[in-house]
Amino acid sequence: MFYAVLGLSIFFFVGITFFVVYFTIKYRHRPGHKAQPSPAHNDAMEITWTVIPTIICVFLFLGGWKGYLEFTSEKSNPMVIDVTAQKWHWNFTYPDGTQDGNLHVPVGQPIRMRMTSVDVLHSFYVPAFRVKQDVVPRRYTYVQFTPTRPGVYRLYCAEYCGDDHSQMKVKVFVHEAGGYERFLSEKASLSQSMSPEETGLYVYNKKGCVACHSVDGSPKVGPSWKGIWNEQVKLADGTTITVDDQYIKDSVLEPQKQARPGYPPSMPSFAGQLSEREIAGVIAYIKSLK
């Protein structure tokens, strides 16, 4: 294949170069030589090369339109999974309210993803399923597919969305019969058995805080969490505030309300994305980072 393409390229290159040189010499300007009038119009040819491509385009359009309709119209009785994209992770909310950072679906079940972003443009992309769709702030976009083979697949963000865009790669688990239900119940019992601190650590890693907050004092997009508990911090409006339960909860729900000077207003609100239990977990976890 490679040599065929290389050979063809060389063939065309040499051929075209030859004609350029040949015609340049043959038709060069000479004294006493008048230019020939060039042909201007031919109705038969123009009609032919207009009508035939138009007919071809109509057929191409019909095929594409049919595929588009099939791709976008709602299948009968799909399972709807809510997708929230944000810098820089995915959050999937299943019909029973369970949330996870990876996508879990039962095999053979038509799936409809209802997607939105809380900050910038992202794009939902599962190459193995041949689906790719922009995820847009303040509106819903949809993607549908029916997974046909159990296994683990890759899901990417296909819209360059900032520093850690490349970290928005997660897994799609297509479960065999019963596996999806098992995932839900394991997830439920896991979150019930975790201590508040463990819940906080889990949130830190799985809900994307890790992209912007360190826990060892090193600077990232936002302030490190190490040693901030009970400390006084300066706010952008000049006042000081103590880092306590209330401040942490407010920071999670309305980050820009108590903005810190020197940090970009880049933290998205996690209202509706973290349960009370998880917020309490974050508080306990930050408290533990001496």
Residues 18 and 24 sit within 8 Å (Cβ to Cβ): no
Which one of residues 87, 122, 175, 287 is an interface residue with ligand HEC (CB under 6 A)?
87
What is the C-alpha to C-alpha distance for residues 109 and 277, in angstroms, rounded to an integer?
Answer: 31
Helix 276-288 crosses helix 196-206 at what angle (to 10 degrees)? 100
Q: How far is the CB of 208 from ligand HEC (least distance, A)?
A: 5
- 209 binds Cu ion per the rule CB under 5 A: no
Smallest Cα–Cα separation from 88: which of 5, 184, 162?
A: 162
The interface region with ligand HEC, picked from 11-19, 51-59, 108-116, 263-271 by CB under 6 A, is 263-271
Which one of residues 197, 263, 269, 275 is an interface residue with ligand HEC (CB under 6 A)?
263
| Beta-ladder partners of 134 | 123
Nearer residue to ligand HEC within complex by CB, 147 or 268: 268
With CB under 5 to 8 Å by kind, the binding choice for 256 among Cu ion, ligand HEC, none is: ligand HEC
Q: How far is the CB of 3 from ligand HEC (least distance, A)?
A: 49
C-alpha distances out from residue 230 to 23, 227, 245, 287, Å? 84, 8, 9, 8
Q: Environment class of residue 199 by beta-carbon count within 10 Å: exposed (0-12), middle (13-18) or buried (19+)? A: buried
With CB under 5 to 8 Å by kind, the binding choice for 203 among ligand HEC, Cu ion, none is: ligand HEC
The interface region with ligand HEC, picked from 1-9, 121-129, 130-138, 251-259 by CB under 6 A, is 251-259
How many residues sit in the footprint of Cu ion (CB under 5 A)? 4
What residues from 96 to 125 belong to the interface with Cu ion (CB under 5 A)? Answer: 122
Helix 245-253 crosses helix 276-288 at what angle (to 10 degrees)? 130
Q: How far is the CB of 213 from ligand HEC (least distance, A)?
A: 6
- 174 binds ligand HEC per the rule CB under 6 A: no
- 211 binds ligand HEC per the rule CB under 6 A: yes
- 287 binds ligand HEC per the rule CB under 6 A: no
Which one of residues 111, 126, 161, 228 is an interface residue with ligand HEC (CB under 6 A)?
228
Q: How far is the CB of 229 from ligand HEC (least distance, A)?
A: 10
Which one of residues 81, 115, 155, 168 is an interface residue with Cu ion (CB under 5 A)?
168
Q: Outline where the chain has alpha helix (H).
A: 2-26, 43-72, 179-193, 196-206, 245-253, 276-288
Residues 263 and 206 sit within 8 Å (Cβ to Cβ): no
Residues 289 and 225 sit within 8 Å (Cβ to Cβ): yes
Residues 215 and 226 sit within 8 Å (Cβ to Cβ): yes
- 207 binds ligand HEC per the rule CB under 6 A: yes
What is the C-alpha to C-alpha distance for residues 225 and 153, in angstroms, rounded to an integer?
Answer: 34
- 201 binds ligand HEC per the rule CB under 6 A: no
Q: What are phi and psi of 192, to 5 degrees?
A: -70, -30
- 120 binds ligand HEC per the rule CB under 6 A: no
- 135 binds Cu ion per the rule CB under 5 A: no
How many residues sit in the footprint of ligand HEC (CB under 6 A)? 27
Q: What residues make contact with Cu ion under the rule CB under 5 A?
A: 122, 157, 161, 168
